[in-house]
Amino acid sequence: MDKRKNIIDSLNTIAKRQSRSNEERIQFLKMMKSMDVVLIVVCGGIIATSILSYLFGYHLFSWSELAIIVMIGLGLILSFPSIFYELRILKHREVISRGDDFNEMDVLNEELKSIIDGLNTRFEENWITTLIGLFIMAIGAWQMFVENANPYWNYMKIPTAVFSGIIIVRFIFTYRKLSSNIKETEKYCN
């Protein structure tokens, strides 16, 4: 179990370790998760309403004025998966402290190490997605600071939706993989 704890500790963390216990980090992440959910729902709802209303010939929220909302929403959707992963991993760390090693532990540890390594380098490994996100944010910043004189902003609806979809699909895939590994390990810890 010590090897598994060391693997967990290698995760690049949002809730810094220096002055916090595991329980304090979990509470901080729960608060962050709640705030992010509310903000993502609000920003995502406004963005989705703007895009969908435009498709049906209505103009509930003007896309040309949503650059700041889009940038905030993209920032939130990028950080949101990290909060979920870290919260799940920290809760798992508490559970495994009560368990002993078992036969399949090395295989599960290697899989967890692979998952955490992917989480630690997610921006480097997914450089195309990172570039798309940076491009959308650059066009959004241009839209904000040039007073609606950006001719490319109207073309950012589809890339914004696609980018968000990619992040969500990756989150679901990685979270399932992480949860499966954790559940398999925790079966032996109770």
- At 130 the pLDDT is 85
CB 88 within 8 Å of CB 174: no
DSSP state of 61: S
Cα 81 to Cα 166: distance, rounded to the nearest angstrom = 12
> pLDDT tens, position by position, for the chain (190 residues)?
788 888 888 888 876 665 678 888 889 999 999 999 999 999 999 999 988 888 888 878 888 889 999 999 999 998 899 999 999 999 998 888 877 767 778 888 999 999 999 998 887 778 888 889 899 999 999 998 886 678 899 899 889 989 999 999 999 999 999 999 999 988 877 6
Q: How far is CA 95 from the centre of its chain?
A: 23
Domain extent listing, the chain: 2-9+20-186
Task: Report the distance separating Cα 17 and Cα 124, nearest Å.
Answer: 24
pLDDT the model gives residue 190: 62
State residue 15's pLDDT score: 67
For 52, how many CA atoms within 13 A lie in the half-sphere containing its CB? 6
Compute the distance between CA of residue 46 and CA of residue 69 in angstroms, rounded to an integer.
Answer: 8
Q: Cα 167–120–88 angle (5° rounding)? A: 75
- How far apart, in whole angstroms, are the C-alpha atoms of residue 155 and residue 138? 13
Long-range contacts from 146-150, C-beta under 8 angstroms, 24+ separation: 148/64, 148/65
Contact at 8 Å (CB) between 138 and 150?
Answer: no
